[in-house]
Amino acid sequence: GLGDVYKRQEEGEDEDEKAMVGKLALVNEAKKYLAEEKGREATVHELAAYTQLTEEELSDILLLIQKADQKDK
């Protein structure tokens, strides 16, 4: 029934969330590494190549990182 579909979706979202946290960590690492390597901020294109994520996915993640950084200040 519908309840099952909803439950499955909720369980799936947990996985997505874990994946997202993993990607955030990966992108943060990549940003640090590439910044040291190049002596400047990495471009989305460079980050995409390094992390094997799509530039679209990266844009979302970079936005999340920016929001998190603003909260810290």
Give me the percent of the chain exceeding a pLDDT of 70.
Answer: 81
DSSP for 3-61, please give it: HHHHHHHHHHHHHHHHHHHHHHHHHHHHHHHHHHHHTSPPPHHHHHHHHT--HHHHHHH
Intra-chain end-to-end CA distance of the chain, in Å = 47
Residue 4: predicted pLDDT: 64
Residue 72: predicted pLDDT: 76
Q: What is the mean pLDDT of residues 57-70?
A: 90
Does the pLDDT of residue 64 top 80, yes or no?
yes
- Report the distance separating Cα 58 and Cα 55, nearest Å: 5
Q: What is the mean pLDDT of residues 26-44?
A: 96
Does the pLDDT of residue 9 top 60, yes or no?
no
Give me the chain's average pLDDT, please.
Answer: 86
